[in-house]
Amino acid sequence: MIDLFKDRYKLSLLMAFFFLIGIMASLYQIYRLPHNLMLADGYHPAMFSVYVVPGITFLIGVFTVWTALNYKNEVIVYRDKQTQSDNASRDTDEANRSVISLESVTESLKHAQNEKDIIQSGLHAICKQLEAGQGAVYMLQEEDGKRKFELKSGYAFTVSESNVISYEFGEGLIGQAAAAGKTFYIDDVPQGYVKIISGLGSASPRFLLIVTIKDQDRV
């Protein structure tokens, strides 16, 4: 019963039902009025206004209820369409947020002076667009016929410049992504696998995205 009063549409239907019952009961009482007054012919000129005024009132009431119920249905349909439109807009916004704007990346590279600045500026621009807490770029290096990927730049990456971090093809997730030439997305990163450290503390990321950069088919 309490839920019925919370649902205004169902409550409106219930009130409309009682209103129609009231109209039928009133019409019956008006119909019985001459008999109750014991009028010989069942009608008296003075009864004309008794019939006309309530009749017009009832018609207005029925029209009002019918209009209100139809308007309620229109409002529900409008709200459903508005909700669908809002959901579609939100999905579109989220989809757009997942796409990297090359113009923004290109703009960030205009003031780069060397290869290191290019990598650093591009990485920062991409991480900001993805709202990534941390990022790194590994570049292909070849020595004595061996190929490996060496860390060249980091975003919020806590590694000193004197340390050299590298992976051979097939070694670790970096090497596996390079060997497969594919993108790896991990949404269940083990606690402590990677640490993001800032001036306010440290935390472990929940998601990891490894993307291979290709020149045609060459990683």
pLDDT of residue 138: 92
Q: Give the C-alpha distances (Å, rounded to integers) separating 23 from 14, 32, 35.
A: 14, 14, 19
Instruction: Enumerate the β-bridge partners of residue 218.
Output: 215
pLDDT of residue 157: 75
pLDDT of residue 103: 80
Long-range contacts (CB closer than 8 Å, 24 or more residues apart) made by 186-195: 194/134, 195/158
pLDDT of residue 91: 65
pLDDT of residue 77: 58
Instruction: Enumerate the β-bridge partners of residue 141.
Output: 148
| Mean per-residue pLDDT pooled into runs of 10, the chain (219 residues) | 58 72 75 65 61 72 69 60 70 60 81 86 88 89 86 79 83 89 86 71 82 87
Question: pTM of the prediction?
Answer: 0.51
